[in-house]
Amino acid sequence: MNVFLVDGTYELFRHFYAVPASSDADGNEIGAVRGVLGSIVLMLEDGVTHVGVATDHVIESFRNELWPDYKTGEGIDPVLRAQFHPLEEALVAMGIMVWPMEEFEADDGLASATVKASADEAVEQVFICTPDKDLAQCVVGDRVVQFDRRAGLIRDADKVREKFGVSPQSIPDYLALMGDSADGYPGLPGWGAKSASAVLGCYGHIEAIPDAADSWEVKVRGANKLAQTLTEQREAALKFRELATLRKDAPVFDSVDQLRWVGPRGNFFDLCVKINASGIYRRVDRLAGQRRS
């Protein structure tokens, strides 16, 4: 079997800015929720049997305590924010396994689910459905891959190296050195994608990089300055790596069998009526009948 793990928060953001506005029976905006439901139904129609979705039930996580400038919910459109919980409820009603993250982030949920799924010998391949570069650290050979559904691209370990210049295991170090403005940590001054990939492509991890540029086995523009910055701010770099490293102990599922989609719950019809999604209901109902036959 193949397992598909979906970044529900990414999907909600993507559909919020891509689909027309639409209200439910109470006048609440629900367009993004409907968009994500339709996207998941399409996966099922394409033959996916085992699927789970990780969501950010709240925006903040344990990382906000580690770094005061780490990303928060500030600036998120309140209309979008209001659809987080309705999405979780709708997916559960559809019969999809959901992991709403509170102390952790959706990315941690995906990383934890990846470990669980890949540990099952019955699983042939795990697809992490998100283009987020943070999840590249979870890729393992060609058994655990990233799947950018929107672009139709699959990224295995070789493709990770091709894109970032480092192995999946070095992605947290790579992000730590160059920084990640989306997550709110700056990286080290002077370090960018090219220098980080070149140096880490040689040494793998931050602590393995020699202090003196004269000892480096790779040529990098401005090496002396980069080495000096790293020597002076190595502790900060390790802190940023901690922020970039996804946790693998978030609460997800107990068995891969829980990810098998067998059909919607009894309240799915009423939910679809409320959000004006009769088309989605008919598609799901038809699929459930096919899976039972």
Q: Which residues, at least 6 apart from 210, have a Cβ–Cβ distance to it below 8 Å?
A: 203, 216, 227
Please name the fold of domain 164-244.
Answer: DNA polymerase; domain 1 (1.10.150)
Q: Which residue has the higher pLDDT, 260 or 103?
A: 260
Alpha carbons within 13 A on the beta-carbon side of 124: 4
pLDDT digits (tens, 9 = 90+) for 153-211: 999 999 999 999 999 999 999 999 999 988 888 999 999 999 999 999 999 999 999 99
Q: Which residue has the higher pLDDT, 59 or 100?
A: 100
Residue 293 has pLDDT above 70, yes or no: no
Long-range contacts, stretch 187-192, CB < 8 angstroms, 24+ apart: 187/237, 187/240, 188/229, 188/230, 188/233, 188/236, 188/237, 189/229, 189/233, 190/222, 190/225, 190/226, 190/229, 191/226, 191/229, 191/230
- Residues 80-88 have a mean pLDDT of 95
Give the model's pLDDT for residue 125: 98
Class of domain 2-163+247-285 as given by CATH: alpha beta
> Where exactly are the structural domains of the chain?
2-163+247-285, 164-244
Q: What is the pTM of this model?
A: 0.94
- Report helix, strand or coil for 158: helix
Q: How many Cβ atoms sit within 10 Å of the Cβ of residue 269? A: 15
- Residues 213-221 have a mean pLDDT of 93
Question: From start to end of the chain, where are the E strands?
Answer: 2-7, 50-56, 97-101, 125-129, 144-148, 153-155
pLDDT band for 270, please (50, 70, 90 cuts): very high
